[in-house]
């Protein structure tokens, strides 16, 4: 099932949906409240029209790295072969209003984890969630290890001083509501990505996942808690690769989850479509 938001003036626009009215509760029936997804557009100045970088500064244009880092001539993997069943939706669409904005499948998606506030076993939970999304999309994810980068709502997509002349990796952090006010009250996690264009298709180049550190620390103490935290991480990484919320309790991308810990049929169909994005070496 397709639907969603198409761009105006040739540009896709993101959509953010509210979380459910109750935070995740560990009880007889699990009730997970997972946060909204979001997708941003970087400044719409395409190459080759962008001005040259300042002398001595890395990158092909201000705020952007030299194009083509790790770009291969073909996709690095293939999405899972799944039937078109269930309910799914995308955060952003290309100009045709049908093709979703996605990551470049011809280069790896790097990610880093800030360990501050992580629950016991947090690294394994992140790795397992990433592996599930990678298998569903065919995208190749590469862990760059730990970082000391803090969460920021206006996180730059290009940070050459920290990560070199490339797009910044996806950032995973464990936050408190004081550190990220969007986690206050009802939200167990959030996921988002930033899309840019070099005059061709819009492509996601980096993103961020945040999970409520206090909720995760309490959750992992119960027998099924690690699976609950992992489900939130899979949901948020679903947002990172471009999956939107759906109003269907059979899908993990439903913002209110009362027991779903595995990807549903529509989740898998949507993630498979997001693994077939455009290869864009000009970025």
What is the pLDDT confidence band of residue 61, given thresholds at 50, 70 and 90? Answer: low
Could you tell me which residues come within 8 angstroms of residue 97 by beta carbon, excluding any fewer than 6 positions away?
Answer: 6
Average pLDDT (99-124) is 97
What is the pLDDT confidence band of residue 153, given thresholds at 50, 70 and 90? Answer: confident
Domain boundaries, the chain: 32-43+73-274
Tokens (6 digits) for 163? 């990560």
Model pLDDT for residues 112-134, shown as the tens digit of each residue: 999 999 999 999 999 999 999 99
pLDDT surpassing 50 at residue 57? no
Q: How far apart are CA 283 and CA 268, in angstroms?
A: 27
Give the residue with greater pLDDT, 10 vs 185: 185
pLDDT surpassing 70 at residue 34? no
Query: With contact defined as beta carbons under 8 Å apart, do 278 and 95 qualify?
Result: no
- Give one word for 229, left, alpha or beta, with left for phi > 0 and alpha for psi -120 to 50: alpha
Average pLDDT (49-78) is 69
Position 55 scores a pLDDT of 31
Task: Give the chain's mean pLDDT.
Answer: 81
pLDDT surpassing 60 at residue 163? yes
pLDDT surpassing 80 at residue 262? yes
DSSP class of residue 181?
Answer: G
What is the pLDDT confidence band of residue 185, given thresholds at 50, 70 and 90? Answer: confident
pLDDT surpassing 60 at residue 44? no
Task: Give the H/E segment covering residue 165.
Answer: none
What is the pLDDT confidence band of residue 38, given thresholds at 50, 70 and 90? Answer: low
Could you tell me which residues come within 8 angstroms of residue 48 by beta carbon, excluding any fewer than 6 positions away?
Answer: 199
Query: With contact defined as beta carbons under 8 Å apart, do 192 and 24 qualify?
Result: no
| Maximum pairwise Cα distance, the chain | 62
Tokens (6 digits) for 151? 């969460």
Name the E strands within 119-245. Answer: 141-146, 170-175, 189-197, 202-212
Model pLDDT for residues 199-216, shown as the tens digit of each residue: 999 999 999 999 999 999
Q: Which CATH superfamily is domain 32-43+73-274 in?
A: Collagenase (Catalytic Domain) (3.40.390.10)
């Amino acid at each position: 099932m397709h639907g969603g938001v198409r761009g105006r003036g040739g540009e896709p626009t993101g959509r953010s949906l509210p979380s459910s009215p109750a935070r995740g509760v560990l009880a007889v029936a699990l009730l997970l409240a997972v946060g909204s997804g979001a997708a941003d557009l970087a400044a719409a100045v395409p190459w080759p029209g962008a001005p040259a970088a300042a002398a001595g500064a890395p990158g092909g244009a201000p705020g952007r790295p030299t194009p083509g880092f790790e770009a291969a001539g073909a996709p690095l993997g293939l999405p899972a072969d799944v039937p078109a069943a269930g309910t799914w939706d995308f955060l952003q669409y290309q100009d045709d209003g049908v093709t979703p904005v996605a990551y470049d499948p011809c280069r790896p998606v790097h990610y880093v984890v800030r360990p501050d506030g992580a629950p016991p076993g947090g690294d394994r939970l992140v790795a397992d969630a990433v592996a599930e999304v990678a298998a569903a999309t065919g995208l190749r994810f590469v862990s760059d290890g730990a970082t000391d980068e803090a969460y920021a709502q206006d996180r730059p997509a290009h940070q050459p001083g920290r990560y070199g002349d490339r797009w910044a990796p996806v950032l995973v952090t464990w936050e408190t509501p004081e550190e990220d006010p969007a986690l206050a009250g009802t939200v167990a996690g959030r996921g988002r990505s930033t899309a840019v264009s070099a005059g061709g298709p819009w492509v996601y180049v980096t993103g961020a996942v945040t999970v409520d550190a206090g909720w995760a620390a309490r959750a992992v103490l119960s027998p099924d808690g690690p699976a609950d935290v992992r489900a939130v991480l899979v949901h948020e990484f679903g947002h990172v690769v471009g999956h939107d919320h759906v109003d269907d309790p059979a899908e993990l991308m439903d913002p209110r989850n009362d027991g779903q810990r595995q990807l549903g049929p529509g989740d898998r169909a949507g993630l498979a479509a997001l693994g077939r994005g455009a290869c864009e070496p000009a970025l």
